[in-house]
Structure 1
């Protein structure tokens, strides 16, 4: 098939991806990113002739998408909180839900505040970089157990000219010296191994397993953090974390049991699922 316009090219791509039980919208996303178009540009040009070079590139892209390769890995970048970030198979693809965690922190503090912020399990650096941009007077430290992920995060920091301190290691062991922070944030692994059977093919086969799965039904990281986080927060400090939509009761119980004097607040995302927690050491904080 040789399409005569952009609309025909997309129809071909949609049919192919549906045959493979994959999201057909990924083809439209890749096409727009390659052309640096927005949806409006596509609507205005859908009946225009598609240049040969664009069609050839689009064919190659769609054939790769048909293998299950995520569009962001194909392009080598993803968008998060208005930032274009490099991503590859060493890093999770940042999700819109995590932007809501960043927004929660942003609305909790004044932008000029000189905060000390720690992002645990930074991956591509998405949360750390978004917070550094929103709180330019703050010092931000980002850690990850994966050296390959930190390489990507460091490249993103350089590209965006946002100074971040990066440290490699597991949880607190990554910190080179004892420190206390105003804000600690993390989007940790929280998927139980038992959930593999119902997971999206592209996520399961392409994104890094160490950033997805955790023991104890996905709760191991929260249990570990809950028993130690008070040592790393200032008295008025807060911990912000993302979790799976079915985990809210367990998350509440974990933090209330380990930190009985703390204020534990669960927040719902835009889809009205409970997806975020804030743990404030002092009930009068924030």
Structure 2
């Protein structure tokens, strides 16, 4: 098949990806990114002849997407809070839901505040970089157990010219002993239980890093460890912000209220009305 225009090319791509049980919208997303177009640009040009180079690239991209490869890994980048971030198989693809966590933090402090932030399990650096951009007078420290993930995060910080401090290690062990206390600690840790693998999306399960997805104790192990020690690293009036799975709100509230009885736990729902974020203060 040789399409005569963009619409025919995308119709072909959609059908092929549907038959492969892959997300058909990924083809349009990749085409728009390759062309540096918005959706309106596609609508204006969908009946225009598709250049042979664009068609050849689309065929190559669709062949990759049909294997289940996420579009962001194919392109080598993802968008988060307006930032273009390099991503690869060492890092999770930043999600739109996590932008809501960053927005919640921004509601709590003025942009000119001079704060100390800690992002635990930074991955590509998405949360830490978004916070540094939103709070330019603040200091942002980011940690991850994966040295490969930190390479990606450091690359992003350099490209965006945002000054972050990175430490490699497992939770609190990553921090130097003389590291000052933090005003805000934020984490989007692994929270999927192993028994959920059977219902997970193929592309997530087979392409994104498992160590950033799964945790013991029905996905709650990292939250238990955060609760046990977070008070030693926060300022007296500091805040802990976290993302968690949509079925974990009750367990999260119980863990932190039991371990930190003098603290309050606030749960917030995401744009889909699922309880997905917590603030401990």
Shared fold, TM over 0.5: yes
What CA deviation, in whole Å up to 9, does each residue of 1:8-29 have, x standing for no partner? Answer: 0000000000001111000000
Give the TM-score, by structure 2 length: 0.99
CA separation in 2, counterparts of 1:71 and 1:122? 21
Taking the aligned partners of 1:199 and 1:43, their CA distance within structure 2 comes to: 33
Alignment of 1:78-227 (within 5 A): 78-178=78-178, 179-227=180-228
Residue 56, structure 1, aligned to residue 56, structure 2 = yes
Give the Cα separation in 1 of the matches to 2:260 and 2:92.
30
SS in 2 for 1:14: helix
Report the equivalent of 1:276: 277
Aligned-partner Cα distance in 2 for 1:236–1:81: 27
Provide, for residues 13-72 of structure 1, a one-character-per-residue CA deviation record: whole Å limited to 9, x for no partner.
000000011110000000000000000000000000000000000000000000000000
Secondary structure of 1:53 counterpart = helix
Q: Give the whole-Å Cα distance in 1 for the aligned partners of 2:132 and 2:27.
A: 32
Structure 2 CA distance, aligned partners of 1:174 and 1:9? 49
- Measure, in 2, the Cα distance between the counterparts of 1:47 and 1:161: 40
**1:177: how far off?**
2.6
Distance 1:249 1:266 in 2: 9
**Secondary structure of residue in 2 paired with 1:113:** coil
Deviation at 1:170, TM superposition (A): 0.3
1: distance between equivalents of 2:196 and 2:250?
18
What TM-score, normalized by structure 1, do the two folds share?
0.97
Q: CA RMSD in A?
A: 0.5
Alignment pair present for 1:234 and 2:201: no
Measure the CA separation in 2 of the matches of 1:219 and 1:40: 43
- SS of residue matched to 1:59: helix
The answer on 1:76 being equivalent to 2:76 is yes
Structure 2 counterpart SS, 1:30: helix
Map of 1:28 onto structure 2:
28
Give me the whole-angstrom Cα distance separating, in 1, the residues matched to 2:241 and 2:30: 32
Shift of 1:176: 1.7
Q: Distance in 1 between matches of 2:78 and 2:66?
A: 19
Size of the aligned set, in residue pairs, is 280
Distance 2:219 2:68 in 1: 25
Structure-2 separation of matches of 1:47 and 1:63: 23
1:265 aligns with 2:266: yes
Equivalent-residue separation in structure 2 for 1:72 and 1:186 (angstroms): 22
Question: Which string of whole-angstrom CA distances, capped at 9 and with x for unpartnered residues, describes residues 215-247 of structure 1?
Answer: 000000000100100000000100000000000
Poorly superposed stretches of 4+, deviation over 3 Å: none
Task: State the partner residue of 2:18.
Answer: 18
